[in-house]
A = this chain, B = another copy of it.
Amino acid sequence: MNLKDVLAAKGHRVVTVSAKSSVADAIRAMHAAKVGAVMVPDAEGCPVGIFTERDVVRLYADGDRDFDTLAVEARMTCSVVLGRLSMSVDEALGVMTERRFRHLPVVEEGKLLGVVSIGDLVKVKLNETAQEAQALRAYIAS
């Protein structure tokens, strides 16, 4: 299984906000879509900007709280790790647990095709593992 399969199953919907949106707008977009991160695809000098729940906590804790006027591009993270359609689920999970992030934008030829979350990948992985184990048990029994 690779990220192409995952996106085919979960869909290609991406929750985006523009770079000039306020942090408050990004939070509302996240909440409305029930996701933990919004993408900022048109940010200058960054293939895909990401703004997450974790950023909201960080900004608030740091006292950086003028969310209505603060532009999301000023506080987002530029994703340095991009997924590709051919990337395997294991590879994606490996890089996410190692680098400690939970949302991986999938990009081909500069185009943002979707986002996979650690939860999406775990769901696929659990199914895959169960099927593999069954196949191997059947092989051994035969």
Contacts and interface: CB of A to CB of B under 8 A. Distances in A.
A120 B132 CA distance: 23
Given A36-B54, A60-B56, A61-B32, A93 B122 contact: yes
**Total copies of the chain:** 2
Contacts of A139: 140
A102 B102 CA distance: 11
Interface in A22-40: 24, 27-28, 30-32, 36
A111 interface: no
A67 B61 CA distance: 11
Interface stretch (A11-19, A41-49, A76-84, A123-131): A123-131
Given A27-B57, A60-B67, A97-B122, 16 more contacts: A27-B60, A28-B61, A30-B57, A31-B58, A31-B60, A31-B61, A53-B56, A53-B57, A56-B57, A94-B126, A118-B119, A118-B122, A122-B125, A125-B125, A132-B133, A140-B140
Interface of A: 24, 27-28, 30-32, 36, 53-54, 56-58, 60-62, 67, 90, 93-94, 96-97, 100, 102, 118-119, 121-123, 125-126, 129, 132-133, 136, 139-140
